[in-house]
C-alpha cells in the first residue's frame, strides 16, 4: 500500500497555518509537517483582500510544512470563512406508494433519494455556492430522529432533513485564485467551522448538544451540533483583533497591544481587580507609559462580552435553549488563549465552556496540538473521509453535482 499524503491549509486573518499528514497502512493519520506564516493585512474578517500578499503567506506556510515532512503537496484542502459562509436547513417529504388499500408501502433507496432531492429545494442567497450538504436525519410517519435511511421499513410518508452550507461565489473564486498564484491546486474547500469541529469535538459531545467556536483574529467561526447532527453554522465578524484595537485606543502601537493582551489581560470575574502593570511605548514610539492590568482587563471585558452575546444569538438562531446543549461550548483559535475567557463565555451564554485542541491524529510536534491548528488538522481529517463536499478531488468546476454526492453517501451507508 502506497503512502497517502494529505494537506490542509487554513488562511486566517492573522496567520496561515498548514499541516501535512500521512496515512499508515492501518489507516491512522500522522501529522508529519506543519507550517505557519503571517497573513497580516491580507484578510479582513475572514475574506481575502490582498491576492499577492495572501499567496506569499500561503507559499511560506506550505514550504515550511513541506520541509519538515519531506513531501511536496500539489493539491491541498483549504478552509473558507467570513460572514458570507452560512447554513440553511432543508426538509423534503415524499409519499410512499401503498402496497394495497390497507398496507403501507416499503421504503426504497429511490424514495430516500427523492426526499433528499426535495429537501434541497431551498431558496438560497443570490451568488451563493453550496459547499456541503449534511444529512441530518429522517422521519417516517410519527417517528422522527432516525439517523440512518429507513430503507425496507413500511410507512406512508418519508421526510429527509438536510443542512446546506453556502459561501459567496466570488469569495470562493478568490480563494482558488490565491492558491493558483501560489502554484497549488485546491482539492477540496470546507467551511472552517466544519473542519475545526471535526478535529476538536467528540461524537458524544455532538450527540448531547455542543457549540464549537473558533475565535480567530478577525472572525469567529461557529458550529452548533444537536443529536449528532450539524444544526447551525455561522460566522461572527469579530475576534481577537477587536480587543487589540480597543487596547490601541489608549494610544499604544499594535505590537504593544498584543503584548498586553497576552501578559496582562484577564477577562474573568477577578480580572478587574488583577494587579500588575507594564511600561509600553506610546503611539509613534516617542514616549512610554505604564499600563495597569486592571484597566486593560476592564476594556477587554467589554469586547469579549459583545462577542459572546453574538454567540448566544447564534445559538438562538439555531432554535436551541441552554438545556439543549449540555456539552456546552468548546473554544479554539488563537484568542481562546486569553486569560479567563472560558469564564466569560459561561457568564454570557449560561453554558459550561472549555478550551479544545485537535485530537484523533498522531502528531510529531506539540505545535499542532494547539487551538490555532484545529482547522488545519480537521481539513486533513475531512479530506480523508471526503464527507459531503461538492469540491471533489480532481474537479475544477466551481459547482458540483449535489445529487451525485448524496447518492455517494447512500452507497457508503448500504
Residues 46, 51, 55, 56: what is their CA dihedral angle, to the nearest 10 degrees? Answer: -100
pLDDT of residue 184: 94
Range of the domain at 90: 86-168+398-403
Per-residue pLDDT of 71-86, as tens digits, reads 999 899 999 998 899 8
* 146 vs 191: which has the higher pLDDT: 191
Per-residue pLDDT of 389-398, as tens digits, reads 333 333 333 3
* 386 vs 336: which has the higher pLDDT: 336
Residues 6+ apart with CB under 8 A from 267: 297, 300, 301, 304, 338, 339, 340, 341, 343, 344
Alpha-carbon span 214 to 247, nearest angstrom: 22
Per-residue pLDDT of 400-413, as tens digits, reads 333 344 334 333 33
Nearest CA to 197 among 212, 185, 175, 177? 212
Per-residue pLDDT of 112-150, as tens digits, reads 999 999 998 877 777 888 888 888 889 998 788 788 899
Is the residue at 286 inside a domain?
A: no
Looking at residue 92, which CATH number applies to its domain? 3.30.1490
* 125 vs 369: which has the higher pLDDT: 369
Per-residue pLDDT of 305-321, as tens digits, reads 999 999 999 999 889 99
- DSSP output for 56-97: HHHHHHHHHHHHHH----SEEEEEE-STT-EEEEEEEEEEPP
pLDDT of residue 414: 34
Name the band, by pLDDT with cuts 50, 70 and 90, for residue 9: very high
Alpha-carbon span 133 to 137, nearest angstrom: 12
State the total domains in the chain. Answer: 1
Q: How far, in Å, are 92, 124, 126, 226 from residue 130 at the CA level?
A: 18, 9, 11, 22
pLDDT of residue 411: 37
* 229 vs 413: which has the higher pLDDT: 229
Nearest CA to 167 among 188, 136, 189, 200? 189
Q: Round the average pLDDT of the chain to a whole number and report it.
A: 86
Is the residue at 93 inside a domain?
A: yes
Per-residue pLDDT of 260-303, as tens digits, reads 988 889 998 655 566 678 888 888 888 888 888 888 888 899 89
Per-residue pLDDT of 306-364, as tens digits, reads 999 999 999 998 899 999 999 999 999 999 999 999 999 999 999 999 999 999 888 87
3-state SS, residue 121: coil
pLDDT of residue 270: 59
Is the residue at 155 inside a domain?
A: yes
pLDDT of residue 236: 93
- Which of 40-44, 218-222, 351-355, 393-397 is predicted least confidently? 393-397
Express as a percent the part of the chain with pLDDT over 70: 91
Alpha-carbon span 352 to 328, nearest angstrom: 5
Is the residue at 116 inside a domain?
A: yes
Alpha-carbon span 306 to 312, nearest angstrom: 10
Is the residue at 44 inside a domain?
A: no
Is the residue at 137 inside a domain?
A: yes
Is the residue at 290 inside a domain?
A: no
pLDDT of residue 274: 65
Within 10 Å of residue 251's Cβ, how many Cβ atoms?
11
Q: Hey, what's the cell of 380?
A: 486533513
- DSSP output for 199-265: HH--HHHHHH-EEEEEE-SS-EEEEEEETTEEEEEEEES--HHHHHHHHHTTT--HHHHHHHHHHT-
Name the band, by pLDDT with cuts 50, 70 and 90, for residue 177: very high
pTM: 0.86
Is the residue at 92 inside a domain?
A: yes
Mean of the pLDDT values across residues 52-62?
94
Amino acid at each position: 500500500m502506497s503512502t497517502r499524503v494529505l494537506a490542509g491549509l487554513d488562511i486566517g486573518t492573522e496567520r496561515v497555518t498548514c499541516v501535512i499528514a500521512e496515512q499508515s497502512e492501518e489507516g491512522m493519520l500522522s501529522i508529519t509537517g506543519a507550517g505557519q506564516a503571517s497573513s497580516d493585512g491580507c484578510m479582513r474578517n475572514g475574506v481575502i483582500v490582498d491576492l499577492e500578499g495572501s499567496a506569499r503567506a500561503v507559499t511560506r506556510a506550505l514550504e515550511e510544512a513541506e520541509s519538515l515532512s519531506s513531501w511536496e503537496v500539489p493539491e491541498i484542502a483549504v478552509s473558507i470563512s467570513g460572514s458570507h459562509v452560512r447554513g440553511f436547513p432543508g426538509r423534503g417529504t415524499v409519499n410512499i406508494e401503498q402496497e394495497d388499500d390497507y398496507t403501507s408501502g416499503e421504503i426504497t433507496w429511490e424514495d430516500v433519494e427523492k426526499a433528499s432531492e426535495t429537501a434541497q429545494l431551498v431558496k438560497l442567497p443570490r451568488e451563493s455556492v453550496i459547499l456541503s450538504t449534511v444529512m441530518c436525519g429522517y422521519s417516517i410517519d410519527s417517528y422522527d430522529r432516525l439517523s440512518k435511511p429507513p430503507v425496507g421499513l413500511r410507512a406512508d410518508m418519508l421526510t429527509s432533513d438536510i443542512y446546506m452550507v453556502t459561501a459567496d461565489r466570488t469569495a470562493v473564486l478568490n480563494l482558488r485564485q490565491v492558491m493558483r498564484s501560489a502554484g497549488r491546486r485546491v482539492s477540496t474547500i470546507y467551511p472552517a467551522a466544519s473542519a475545526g469541529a471535526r478535529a476538536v469535538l467528540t461524537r458524544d459531545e455532538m450527540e448531547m448538544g455542543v457549540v464549537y467556536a473558533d475565535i480567530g483574529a478577525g472572525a469567529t467561526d461557529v458550529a452548533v451540533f444537536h443529536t449528532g447532527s450539524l444544526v447551525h453554522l455561522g460566522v461572527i465578524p469579530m475576534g481577537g483583533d477587536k480587543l487589540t484595537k480597543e487596547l490601541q485606543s489608549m494610544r499604544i502601537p499594535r505590537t504593544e497591544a498584543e503584548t498586553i493582551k497576552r501578559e496582562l489581560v484577564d477577562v474573568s470575574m477577578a480580572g478587574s481587580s488583577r494587579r500588575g502593570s507594564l511600561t509600553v511605548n506610546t503611539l509613534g514610539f516617542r514616549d512610554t507609559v505604564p499600563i495597569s492590568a486592571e484597566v486593560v482587563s476592564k476594556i477587554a471585558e467589554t469586547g469579549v462580552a459583545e462577542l459572546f452575546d453574538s454567540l448566544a444569538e447564534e445559538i438562538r438562531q439555531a432554535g436551541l435553549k441552554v438545556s439543549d446543549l449540555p456539552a456546552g461550548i468548546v473554544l479554539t483559535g488563537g484568542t481562546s488563549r486569553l486569560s479567563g475567557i472560558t469564564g466569560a463565555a459561561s457568564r454570557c451564554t449560561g453554558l459550561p465552556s472549555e478550551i479544545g485542541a485537535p485530537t484523533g491524529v498522531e502528531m510529531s510536534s506539540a505545535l499542532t496540538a494547539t487551538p490555532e491548528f484545529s482547522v488545519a488538522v480537521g481539513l486533513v481529517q475531512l479530506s480523508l473521509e471526503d464527507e459531503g463536499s461538492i469540491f471533489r478531488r480532481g474537479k475544477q468546476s466551481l459547482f458540483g453535482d449535489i445529487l451525485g454526492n448524496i447518492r455517494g453517501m447512500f452507497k457508503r451507508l448500504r
